[in-house]
Structure 1
């Protein structure tokens, strides 16, 4: 269980939970990029992330509590990034080589602090949204889309993305990551595939909606129940 949050949803076999983040869909357009009005990504290059003391959170509860401190776009949602186990080593190596402070990512991916159980559980109500290809570079996560790889990948690999700019499955993301790692014209990162999990529930933030206390407890969404037991 994750900090008292009822959950029977496990991280899929062969993947680890890197952490939670909050973001809103972004418009993406330009040379060498797919056109979408609703880009969703874990990359800080292409989207504005919730950021006060950092962009990553260990639990859904922490992420949602942070949203109460300032105004968050109404379109913002809670997300989690899952990383296939075989790609965790390269991701961790780039974090350590950068010497940056990533307590959440390190705690989940190398088992410090949260342990293996926490890295294999998700808050209830999430759904897999799609896959992307990412690489860590001295703080931010870069996306394959911000490295001018999209057009070449369409021509060389025959891949495509959905309305969120995401690849359809793990195998496709794996192929794109391997292809990007074999090139010499991208950011000097280890590219890896990652799955995004989305919680399609409006997030309360400052100033936030007025919630009456007369409403039955059972009618409150799950994130209100964990923040106000």
Structure 2
């Protein structure tokens, strides 16, 4: 039986409302991952790196695995023995930056039914209205799609140069503080010729604090209630 998600009645918090945000935020998809400890030269030193990329953290059931709903993501984890740190995440992308992401997916010819359905399908944009409640925005990152893998700017040798030339830095999760910082990094990375051949784009990362149910033990869950007030996507415009 597919599990349902228990997350209470709070809305997604912290999405920026004090910056220019044309268009809307589109849900790329859900994934399950374990925050990673980083202590590598040239990368931010952190105990809890979070990323939608496939480069620096462990994702479950495997790298590159996207889910269309939170319920599907949690159901896929039921047979697994997940670390207690595993969490559910969602990636949101500003609509005006979706084009390059989708173009790279189509150029690669890889199988990405979830990403394409959410970002370029007939109902693109609708899925974002169904994001489960009680998630909170961790921060922003800069990503690029390359033949089945989603890369982060951090693993392309850009972190130290970005700090030096752009004056940007990451937080304790390895994430940028706001959309404007992510936009600057993405534009700067796209203007270079020494990164992976991808279209870099900004994305907001959402996390749910609830531990993931897995083979370690059962958890009784209920379906989240629909939003009862102005939706979060209306508050970021």
**TM-score under structure 1 length normalisation:** 0.86
Q: How does 1:130-209 map to 2 (within 5 A)?
A: 130-206=139-215, 208-209=216-217
Cα distance in structure 1, aligned partners of 2:134 and 2:151: 27
Equivalent position SS for 1:78: strand
Q: Who is 1:214 aligned against?
A: none
Counterpart Cα distance in 2 of 1:210 and 1:178: 45
User: What is the CA–CA distance in structure 2 between the aligned matches of 1:176 and 1:54, rounded to whole Å?
Assistant: 23
What TM-score comes out, normalization by structure 2 length? Answer: 0.83
> How much does 1:70 deviate?
1.2
What residue is the counterpart of 1:91 in the other structure?
Answer: 101
Task: Provide the rounded CA distance (Å) in 1 between the counterparts of 2:193 and 2:117.
Answer: 31
* Cα distance, 1:29 vs structure 2: 2.0
Query: Deviations along 1:68-96, whole A, 9 cap, x unmatched?
Result: 02111110000000001111000000000
Give the match for residue 47 of structure 1. Answer: 57
Alpha-carbon deviations, 1:130-185, whole Å to 9, x = none?
Answer: 00000000001000000010000000000010110000001100100000000110
Q: Distance in 2 between matches of 1:23 and 1:53?
A: 9
How big is the shift at 1:117?
1.8
Counterparts of 1:120 and 1:135 in 2: how far apart (Å)? 24
Q: In 2, Cα distance between the equivalents of 1:58 and 1:119?
A: 10
> SS where residue 186 of structure 2 aligns?
helix
Give the alignment of 1:205-216 within 5 angstroms. Answer: 205-206=214-215, 208-210=216-218
| Distance in 1 between residues matched to 2:145 and 2:218, nearest whole Å | 39
> Aligned partners of 1:99, 1:134: CA distance in 2, in Å?
19
- Equivalent residue number for residue 103 of structure 1: 113
| Number of positions where the alignment pairs a residue of Structure 1 with one of Structure 2 | 212
Distance (Å, rounded) in 1 between the aligned partners of 2:114 and 2:167? 35
**Unpaired stretches in structure 1, ≥5 consecutive residues:** 212-219
Check 1:10–1:73 CA distance in 2 against 1; reply closer, same or farther (3 A cut).
closer
Q: Which residue does the alignment assign to 1:226?
A: 223
**Deviations, residues 3-37 of structure 1 (Å, cap 9, x unaligned):** x9787848966210000000011011222111111
**Alignment gaps of 5+ in structure 2:** 16-22, 225-237
What's 2:87 paired with?
77
Aligned partners of 1:38, 1:8: CA distance in 2, in Å? 24
Cα gap change, 1:75 to 1:53, in 2 (>3 Å): closer
Structure 1 residue 121 corresponds to structure 2 residue 154:
no
Kept after mapping to 1: 8 A contact 2:38/2:46:
yes
2:190 and 2:199 in contact (8 A); partners too: yes
How far did residue 54 of structure 1 move? Answer: 5.6
Deviation at 1:111, TM superposition (A): 2.3
